[in-house]
Structure 1
């Protein structure tokens, strides 16, 4: 391995991730289990648990996540305003949105179909003994009508404060169109927003340079608390979901990309590595938006007028990874409760989960809410969700990586269709977005 690749952001994140996992597992090994302590209880409570896990690493990881989320609203708003006011024909917004939403729904339907098929063939719920005291209650999901009405903000500043991405997107689109129609005043404002966009992207690069340390803290905290027994009891379910997630990311997306654009899917997957790792470590599509936008525009060559629209929309409504979990989980829970689902039931699961990906957009705990809707639709007990919660945290990280890969794939396809894709940048082997920041010489060029 040469020095350049060893120092790349991707490699540094991998090192931070592996180091965090190993340290977390070491902490878990020395934490008290059933009163059998490897080292004195006082030392464990104060130093290992109190100072390191709940203190130093928890603080470091949460500061990293919070810093990423801090950038999401201003980045999306400024980028989308810049992209919208730069469009020569604002009617293209409808074309861009229509293509993006259609592709997001298509990939979600494909994802849950593959998941259901895998669940039927592998049968992860066969022989599982259901606990008698399983309980789970999911929040009620809003209707599609309520979501559409809620997309339009009565107070845009309240939408900014609450991070309501659909409302931020709508307001940014309207604001960008107004800027484009405002003549000389609009041109002056557009230049200001271009400058703001450049500054915010610099902030993104700063955080990306600090990512290995944030990922290290997040992995240490997570793997010090994972329950190995939960994975042992649900191993077949866990690896079924994991296998379908990897299949969808590494086979379905590349095939769709190749068929619709003719671009090299291997190049796409390689350039998605860093962003996928961001998504895995944060388990949040919204928190990964800065990295996703940076990758789609700087590495994949998509115009900002496209990426600034499709990426935030995808982070909000694209639920491929969640759909895969729902498909396998539905079959798993049906098998545990010895309920035979018909072909009609399976078709209903596909339709419900696909439409629910938009109908529950932006709702906290959206994955479990959607699963509760699906289970209720086919007459399965919602309490069965309690069976899979123990292993859902790690799967959530993987499906977030799948979701952002899907967001980027759709962005490339829409960019190609709209003539806003620089194929030279896409095919380039130079990682121009992997900027290194010298914090000792900030003004050096």
Structure 2
């Protein structure tokens, strides 16, 4: 019996370089193939574990010997390496955020022209954003009240420190007005000129341009074609950065272990525990109830959204995770592409059940109890109000300091309490962001189901493994 061979695979050289004379791939190629064959999720988990191990080793090594004439200890080489790796990964993500916000929001609004009943879909999306945010903040307040957070922490008030920057409603409102078209600001420092961007201003500019593009119609098609092509390019580059997540995780987790230490984490352990309890209640109780109430399978949803959830946990950036969130929402959850192209990018900058609902509620209760400031019914209503309407203040970036200071200042609580919670912020931020991106996929699935446009066969498929590529 004869067998046929494929010449494309019989003599093609290995893409990793020349092979050994024996015809077998070299050790570098074999190592690459071994890593490439591991599912991305397992790579991330391995990065988490290795990061904790290396962080523990770096902490045990202690500081390096100070330089001559320098009384302050300096970090050891392993600590510096972990910090550099983690910082570089986050810097790469942040570098792509401004064009990603602009292109994604403009394209998502312009895509509404292709959606039947676009106004109704947009309204229902915002409504479900608000409903789930309100329930989430209620969970946060309940957990914080039951656990009496902030009492008997063992921490001294001297550890409290006000942040350099704080968010107020006036800052939030004035921040909506763009200082320039691209939302960038420059500041001089000893290291030269430093460029920063205001994600909220970029969002406002993007919405205005998107609406203008939508209203102009056919004349804007060349511009819209450019925006869509540019968005594809930026998302491709972003995916290359995301592929570095397992390595970035090693640095981020490892440095967090060294920098914050087990003692500080232990002293604030009740807050960390309470936050993850609140996040878990929303994820395994509230979201499943919402899914069941709308006739959607719970396990089908979580199997489909898992690639985005785990990447959000590692990257700590809703915007950085947005391409993956959009991919799983369309391919795994069966949401029509034209609707997902609007709902997911918009949710990435305004749907924050972790950062803007559960977290500020728990943090406000913690700070109030720590400084022995009683909270009344009005205060709890204000927490809910800020959480539902102030989500855009976080603008999809890593961290939630702006949202926290906005909540504390609204309640008249000491902003010095922020300094206490920042010690464990990287640890809690991972869980917050994971819940954020999960909710950003949940709402489009629910709205699509209610509108009868969901591909239920794709939603129920057990082959839900799509990620952005």
- Please report the TM-score for the alignment, with normalisation by the length of structure 2: 0.76
- 2:265 aligned residue (196, 220, 231): 231
What is the distance in 2 between the residues matched to 1:138 and 1:255? Answer: 41
Q: How does 1:324-363 map to 2 (within 5 A)?
A: 324-358=358-392, 360-362=393-395
- Pick which of 410-419 and 242-251 moved more: 410-419
What is the distance in 1 between the residues matched to 2:249 and 2:118? Answer: 36
What is the distance in 1 between the residues matched to 2:178 and 2:66? Answer: 52
| C-alpha contact (below 8 Å) 2:448/2:454 kept by paired residues | yes
Q: Does 1:141 align with 2:162?
A: no
- 2:197 aligned residue (128, 147, 162): 162
Which residue is equivalent to 1:268?
A: 301
Which residue is equivalent to 1:240?
A: 274
Gap change, CA 1:309 and 1:106, over 3 Å in 2? same
What is the distance in 2 between the residues matched to 1:232 and 1:49? Answer: 22
Which residue is equivalent to 1:278?
A: 311
What is the distance in 2 between the residues matched to 1:376 and 1:434? Answer: 40
Q: Does 1:60 align with 2:85?
A: yes
Shift of 1:243: 0.8
Q: How does 1:378-417 map to 2 (within 5 A)?
A: 378-417=411-450
- 2:284 aligned residue (219, 241, 250): 250
| C-alpha contact (below 8 Å) 1:71/1:290 kept by paired residues | no
What is the distance in 2 between the residues matched to 1:277 and 1:244? Answer: 18
Shift of 1:267: 1.8
Unaligned runs of 5+ in 1: 33-39, 437-445
Which residue is equivalent to 1:372?
A: 405
Q: Deviation digits for residues 75-96 of structure 1, max 9, x if unmatched?
A: 4554555555554567844333
Q: Does 1:121 align with 2:154?
A: no
What is the distance in 2 between the residues matched to 1:418 and 1:74? Answer: 32
Which residue is equivalent to 1:290?
A: 323
- Pick which of 159-168 and 57-66 moved more: 159-168
Shift of 1:170: 0.7
What is the distance in 1 between the residues matched to 2:399 and 2:61? Answer: 35
Shift of 1:418: 4.6
Displacement over 6 Å in runs of 4+: 3-6, 363-366
Shift of 1:344: 3.1
What secondary structure is seen at the aligned counterpart in 2 of 1:141? coil
What is the distance in 1 between the residues matched to 2:65 and 2:174? Answer: 55
| C-alpha contact (below 8 Å) 2:136/2:353 kept by paired residues | yes
Q: Name which one, 1 or 2, has greater alpha-carbon Rg.
A: 2
| C-alpha contact (below 8 Å) 1:130/1:337 kept by paired residues | no
| C-alpha contact (below 8 Å) 2:58/2:78 kept by paired residues | no
Which residue is equivalent to 1:320?
A: 353
Q: Does 1:14 align with 2:51?
A: no
What is the distance in 2 between the residues matched to 1:194 and 1:166? Answer: 17
What is the distance in 1 between the residues matched to 2:415 and 2:173? Answer: 26
What is the distance in 2 between the residues matched to 1:193 and 1:377? Answer: 39
Unaligned runs of 5+ in 2: 1-33, 186-195
Gap change, CA 1:74 and 1:143, over 3 Å in 2? same
Shift of 1:9: 1.4
Shift of 1:119: 1.7
What is the distance in 1 between the residues matched to 2:267 and 2:373? Answer: 21
Gap change, CA 1:226 and 1:427, over 3 Å in 2? same
| C-alpha contact (below 8 Å) 2:319/2:396 kept by paired residues | no
**Corresponding residue pairs, total:** 417
- Pick which of 285-294 and 246-255 moved more: 285-294
What secondary structure is seen at the aligned counterpart in 1 of 2:162? coil
